Amino acid sequence: MLSIKNLKVSVEDKEILNGINLDIKPGEVHAIMGPNGSGKSTLAHVLAGRETYEVTDGDINFEGKDLLEMEVDERAHEGIFLAFQYPVEIPGVTNANFLKTTINSIRKAKGEEELNALQMLKLLKEKVQLVDFDEKLLHRSLNDGFSGGEKKRNEMLQMAVLEPKLAVLDETDSGLDIDALKVVANAVNKLRTPDRAFIIVTHYQRLLNYIVPDFVHILYQGRIVKSGDKSLALRLEEEGYDWIKEEAASIA
Amino acid sequence: MTTVTQDKYQAVKQYFSHLFSINEQHLNGHKNHPLFALRKKAIQELQDLSFPTRRDEDWKYTALTRVFAPEYKEGKKVQVAKETILPLLLSEDNPYTLVFVNGHFNEELSNLEELPEEVSLMSVDEALLNEEFASDVQQQLENWQTEAGYTLVTINTSFAKQGFFFNVPANVHVERPLHFLYIQTGGEEAQMYHPQHIFRAGQSSQFNVIETYHDLPGEKPGVSYSNISNRFLVGANAQVGHYKLQNINKESFQTSNTEVFQHQDSVYSSYAVDLGTRLLRNNLSIWLKGSGTHSDMYGTYLGSENQHLDNQTFIDHALPHCDSNELYKGILTDKAVGVFNGKVMVRQDAQKTNAFQQSSSLVLSETAKMDSKPQLEIYADDVKCSHGATIGQLEEDALYYLRARGLSKDQAASLLQVAFVSEVVESFKLPGIRKLAQGLIEEKLK
């Protein structure tokens, strides 16, 4: 489904990603872990198409298409969803109105018919329940004055309604208490299907207690330095990142 | 002062004087009417007045030369079918509607049925002959306070037709708003009209006034100049809401002067939406004549192409315990220019004043421009006053977020622009005018 080859990315001439290789098949959940500044969030935003990052080398192939040639919105239409670490607050746009606009623009791009008001209401009701979202927040401005937990739940609601093929969660667990964390994990688990893949970017192992990954990759200094199964995450939990840094240093 | 500009205005004055004498010839028996004396006085006074130029502090960013370049004829009398104006009626607000076509009051298209018995709504002509109101109305027409718009108001007085006087006695709450619907028709000839209204709110009374300005739907619009003059006398403890929306074609011009006098514990709220015109200048001036008052000034404007949209506000805090709250938000693109000039005067006696002023604009092209000039003059020491002026672009983070959810660049930009001005529009209390404003704004920003 997704194949990243030798991806190199710079921001303002500073190389952040330094040759990433990663293959993801439908249905898989990949966790990407790493110390601060290792390039985890950069990878997430490069997948979503943020223009401030400059791809200097490499390829990203998504379902047979060249992802790097696509605009941000085209990637969303193709089924890529990024749950933001810091969802943007937009006063003056109600959450419900935003959801309707985004659902219909993606449906339109896919050549599907736009939903009418009644169908929309039904869909929102169903998804609100699925991700345990406070319905009152639908009528507030998008993320405006939401608590950290509310914002993350809102990202999960958006993920649920947009039904992406590949969902990238960028440190969705940061700043969440254990209850909010469970809500996020629950949403992901309910949305796990054989044809939907997830990339869970996280600093801590905590979230992976609730979302069990098929693969864990450790990103350090812009490279994946180690890949394994969920036991790798547990080792990080116990021993921290120092051994990774030492191993990387000894190789260099 | 003799300058090249004033010399040019000599010709304008002569032209107006000429127009006036043509009018005069058609008056016949009406020459004895007190209104005629007022007009005559005004047109004579105009000959000695200067037109505002950019040398004047209050007109630093706006030149009127373009406004007075066309040779305007007085608004044509034309018939308009009721169906054509249906989309412009604010049925949700269930207003009493006064329709004006090219400045002429059209009784057939208007609806003043069931106006409460206690209130008086009459033409300014009638009011000047009315025993109860004559001297008051005469005084209102003669004593214009604002210097900034004085010349324009004098022109208004010379040419105003079928202005209205609205009097609401003490303790009367007029539930339905009064809607002054101005429609202009197209044609090759540039036309002008001069709306002129006086509103008097008795003690503890309440009412809402809406002014809207549109081109006649379905017709190729023409050049016009509308020169508005409104006065609000807000009695003690009275509450008045005042809405103004204009969506006139971008070849036309509008100047508007509103003077408000607020007495103790009264509330006056102004809501302005400016979408059209080639050049617009709004002067809104509020004098606080009692303590414990509250004043709101909300405004929003969208400028594109060559539009020049200028809002000037003035509030005079002369007495203690008065609050004023001002928020203007606008979006400028192409070669449009926006001006915000907001003056807040807090005099020595005006202790415990709360005065808040904010002007925010989005400037979305390199050739668009915003001139923002907040002026706070504070002579009292125990006050809370703040002002802010921001000029910005659309936030990259927000655009990216929306695009990551599948919205196109244009869709995302449009949504953010609508959101930006919605803070102003959402403050509108009357749903009909609020929805009209929202709808027009969304359409313009598509």
pLDDT digits (tens, 9 = 90+) for A155-178: 999 999 999 999 999 998 888 888
CA distance A245 to chain B (A): 33
Average predicted confidence (pLDDT) for chain B? 94
Please give the average per-residue pLDDT across B284-313, as a whole number: 97
The CATH number of the domain holding residue A201 is 3.40.50.300
Interface of B with A in 383-422 (CB under 8 A): 395-398, 400-409, 411-412, 415-416, 418-422
Give B189's pLDDT tier (boundaries 50, 70, 90).
very high
pLDDT value at B1 more than 60: no
How many other CB atoms sit within 10 Å of the CB of residue A58?
17
Q: What ipTM does this complex have?
A: 0.96
How far, in Å, are A23, A209, B281, B305, B365 from residue B335 at the CA level?
50, 57, 17, 5, 8
A138 within domain boundaries? no
Q: Is the dihedral of CA A91, A95, A99, A101 positive or negative?
A: negative
CB contact under 8 A, A92 and B397: no
CA A241 vs. chain centroid, Å, equals 22
Element (H, E) at B151: helix B150-159
Which of B193, B249, B251 is CA-nearest to residue B225?
Answer: B193
Chain A and chain B share a number of CB contacts under 8 A equal to 74
DSSP B251: T
CB contact under 8 A, B400 and A50: yes
A58 within domain boundaries? yes
A169 within domain boundaries? yes
A17 within domain boundaries? yes
Which of B195, B237, B231 is CA-nearest to residue B212?
Answer: B195
The per-residue pLDDT for A6 is 95
- Structural domain that includes position A175: 2-89+164-251
**Which residue in the set B401, B403, B419 is minimally distant from A92, CB to CB?**
B419
CB contact under 8 A, B405 and A158: yes
Per residue in A100-133, pLDDT (tens digit) is 999 999 999 889 999 998 999 999 999 999 888 8
How far, in Å, are A22, A60, B328 from residue A225 at the CA level?
12, 19, 54
Contacts of B398 in chain A (CB under 8 A): 88, 90
According to DSSP H, which parts of B314-430 are helical? 396-403, 409-425
Average predicted confidence (pLDDT) for chain A? 92
Overall residue count recorded for chain A in this entry? 252
How far, in Å, are B332, B340, B359 from residue B388 at the CA level?
18, 12, 6
Give B33's pLDDT tier (boundaries 50, 70, 90).
confident
**Chain B residue nearest residue A46, CA to CA:** B404
- How far apart (Å, rounded) are the C-alpha atoms in residues A78 and A251? 39
CB contact under 8 A, B406 and A102: yes
How far, in Å, are B278, B409, B411 from residue B446 at the CA level?
20, 12, 8
Residue with tokens 């509607």: B97
Give A252's pLDDT tier (boundaries 50, 70, 90).
low
A79 within domain boundaries? yes
The per-residue pLDDT for B416 is 96
The per-residue pLDDT for A247 is 84
Contacts of A109 in chain B (CB under 8 A): 406
- How far apart (Å, rounded) are the C-alpha atoms in residues B42 and B145? 15
CA distance A6 to chain B (A): 24
Give B29's pLDDT tier (boundaries 50, 70, 90).
low
A44 within domain boundaries? yes
How many domains, in total, are found in chain A? 1
The per-residue pLDDT for B28 is 63
Please give the average per-residue pLDDT across A17-36, as a whole number: 94
A113 within domain boundaries? no
A25 within domain boundaries? yes
CB contact under 8 A, B406 and A98: no
